[in-house]
Structure 1
Amino acid sequence: MSTRKWRVGMIGLGGIGDYHRNNLAKVAHTTVAAICDVNETAVQQVGERLNLPKEKRYSDYRALLADPDIDFVISGVSNKYHYDILKCAIENGKPIFSEKPFTRTLEEADELLRLYEHNPIPCMIGFSYRYRPCFQYVKQLVTDGALGRIRHIAAHYLQEENAPMFNKEYTWRFNKEMAGSGILADIGSHMVDAARFFVGEFTQVSGMMSTFIDRRLDKRTGQYTEVDVDDFTSFQCVLDDGVMGSFYTHKNAIGTGNQFNVTLFGDLGTVRISVEKPNEVHLTLRSGDNLQLTESTIHLDEKSVKPMLQDFVDYLEQKNSSSLPTIMDGYRNQQVLQAIIDSAKDGVTRSL
């Protein structure tokens, strides 16, 4: 067991920053040693709470990434800055955990991959659902062949917060320049990662996208502002070994909370999971001479799964991980997102 103390820098002190800071507190031998945000009030408030010296409270991410006292960085910022921060981390040789999606565009992803190949760094992309007990269990089922040959994967990811009745205000997520795409980048990227995690690479994709509400009120200006990204995305695909896939996502689903459901159909059985019940797996099998049908709900212990940030620390300490989403997982994900966008734009199926 390593007793090294890992000094962590946090870039982005919003809601996702709080989430990662709370999770980091559960990881042994780590401490937040520097913070960074463009909001100086947030920097000072969090800095006081963490009792950080003034010189470790940054407003420029480049200064934090160049800080030799920091062992690795956790970045939770809006999509527009993913490329800049990852590029700076690579240039400084600084290990980094970065939120998904990888970048806004494939051009940004291509450039990061080129830089990474010349100067590789430990990097984890925030596809957090891999670390739910149900995801880990289903991954093992597939690996063990318990479902037989996989023929089809289906998933949907639904929330309700963008429905008209809630009058959701205009934020950066509704702006293409800031976000790259809308619902696809926000939560659809998790569906793409789930398909890659359970099945393999995408070989063909055909997408459709729509914007349900094309103007939203920007409370900063008091004006209605155009929404130039997708509210709805669906796509069908072919994955490795001819596995078929069907997916849809939107935030106009009244009555849903965080409904991310995945079903895998194999020659021997079907398995269903939902992240809203992360410790349950619903398994249906036929077996024996009479092809007896058995249905079961498997209840899992969440303590059996290593937390995501613990896995990153273990990765830095050269311990094995089969789940960790690397920079290549981020890059492949961005390739698929771009293919979906391109296909939706011109109606042509894309090959990857």
Structure 2
Amino acid sequence: MKKETWNFGIIGLGGIGDYHMNHLSKIPYTRVGAICDVNEKAVEQVGNRLNLPAEKRYTAFKAIIDDPEIDVILSGVSNKFHYEILKYALACGKPVFSEKPFTRTLEEADELASMYEKNPIPCMIGFSYRYRPCFQYVKQLVAQGALGRIRHFAAHYLQEENAPMFNKEYTWRFNKEMAGSGILADIGSHMVDAARFFVGEFVQVSGMMSTFIDRRRDLRTGELVAVDVDDFTGFQCVLEGGVMGTFYTHKNAIGTKNQFEVTLFGDLGTARISVERPNEVHLTVREGEKMELTEKVIHLDEKEMKPMLQDFVDYLEQAHSTLLPTLHDGYRNQQVLQAIIDSAKDGITRSL
């Protein structure tokens, strides 16, 4: 349905919350109608900045979801709370945007999927890279058959921030109870989504996981705390259509910032993209009778691409989208993450 203004309730006022509010301010017919965070000081600061009345400043997520004047929830909180917020929004029938990963565990994901089948509501999971110009262009190439039959999908996602020289402190991301898994849930989930976005569903997966640094210092106590999640994950897979896949991710890669790179190898050509160069597609093909090698760099105009939150608002108004990651996409992603974890634990290839 169309509305004059969509009133968003923002849950989580950290960096990701600011990121989404900044982008939301550029989307017509939307406004931040209420905010919520367990940190009362953050609620006060952001509430003052947005000039929100006191009754629209919440510290309990159920209260903001219950607010009848809030049309849709945008949630950017720690992994542990994704399940609880999605569950309550589904129970209340309130549309929701939730950050990835979908949940911490497959058990949580199964329950949400069952609830959604009984009471489907507009729900988007924050796999934001689908909205990079290079991703959208390559999606079109694959759909048009420009690369021929895809034989191999390769992806890596590297950062450097967790390397020993930086003495990264212990945070919730290093705690299984809070995060579910480590690097896999954090940025590896984007690789899984990219494979599904470009190629299709996972058929089989074989994973390996490791923890490079098993203790980190908690700055609140000064104590070293055990890390019980992965900070390296690698996996191979078979995707639908017999496409082979290879993946690795960690944050121990000195010299990288946000190096998420994807390569699709097809019978007619190869496409390479990088999140660090979102407006470029590197295309390699053989053309003509002599099959001469041609390398091209396609330069894209991001202004022609639909932003993620605009697509979400259009979705709320029942517009069709081929890009939007729904609750189903979040659920399928969680199934793959769990298969990788299980395979890494016992060394057995998992079928999906």
What TM-score range do you get, normalising by the shorter chain?
A: over 0.9
1:195 — aligned with what?
A: 195
Question: Matched residues in 2 for 1:2 and 1:348: separation?
Answer: 49
- Could you say which residue in structure 2 is the equivalent of 1:209? 209
User: What TM-score does the superposition give when structure 1 sets the normalisation length?
Assistant: 0.99
Counterpart for residue 163 of structure 2:
163
Q: Deviations over 1:241-279 (max 9, x none)?
A: 000000000000000000000000000000000000000
- 1:4 deviation in Å? 1.4
**What residue in structure 2 maps to residue 86 of structure 1?**
86
Percent of residue pairs bearing the same amino acid type: 78
Counterpart of 1:39 in structure 2 is 39
State how far apart, in whole Å, the 2-side matches of 1:304 and 1:206 are.
38
CA distance in 2, matches of 1:36, 1:121: 21
Q: How many pairs does the alignment contain?
A: 352
Structure 1: gaps (5+ residues): none
Name the SS of the counterpart of 2:245 in structure 1.
Answer: strand
Partner deviation per Cα, 1:301-341 (whole Å, 9 max, x = no partner): 01111000000000011112110000000000000000000
Distance in 1 separating the partners of 2:8 and 2:85: 15
Distance 2:22 2:230 in 1: 31
Question: Within 5 Å, which residues of 2 pair with 1:85-164?
Answer: 85-164=85-164
- For 1:146 and 1:118, locate their aligned partners in 2 and report how far apart those are by CA, in whole Å: 40
Stretches (4+) displaced over 6 A: none
Distance 1:92 1:280 in 2: 42
Equivalent residue, structure 2, for 1:240: 240
Partner of 1:220, secondary structure, is: coil
CA offsets per residue over residues 84-103 of structure 1, 9 Å max, x none? Answer: 00000001100000000000
One-letter identity of the residue aligned with 1:110: D
Amino acid at match of 2:96: I
Partner amino acid, structure 2, of 1:172: W
Cα-Cα RMSD: 0.9
Name the SS for the 2:262 alignment partner: strand
Q: Which residue is equivalent to 1:224?
A: 224
| Deviation of 1:290 (Å) | 1.1
Q: Kindly provide the amino acid, as one letter, of the partner of residue 339 in structure 1.
A: A
Shift of 1:2: 5.6
State whether structure 2 residue 68 is matched by structure 1 residue 68.
Answer: yes
TM-score (norm 2): 0.99
Match of 2:347 in 1: 347
C-alpha distance in structure 2 between counterparts of 1:242 and 1:4, whole Å: 47
**C-alpha separation in 2, matches of 1:2 and 1:332:** 29
CA shift for structure 1 position 289: 1.5
- Secondary structure of the 1:235 match is strand
Ranges in structure 2 where 5+ consecutive residues have no aligned partner: none
User: What residue number does 1:4 align with?
Assistant: 4
Which amino acid counterpart does residue 129 of structure 2 have in structure 1? Y
Report the counterpart of residue 266 of structure 1 in structure 2: 266
The offset of 1:288, in angstroms, is 2.0
Name the structure 2 match of 1:321: 321
Shift of 1:129: 0.1
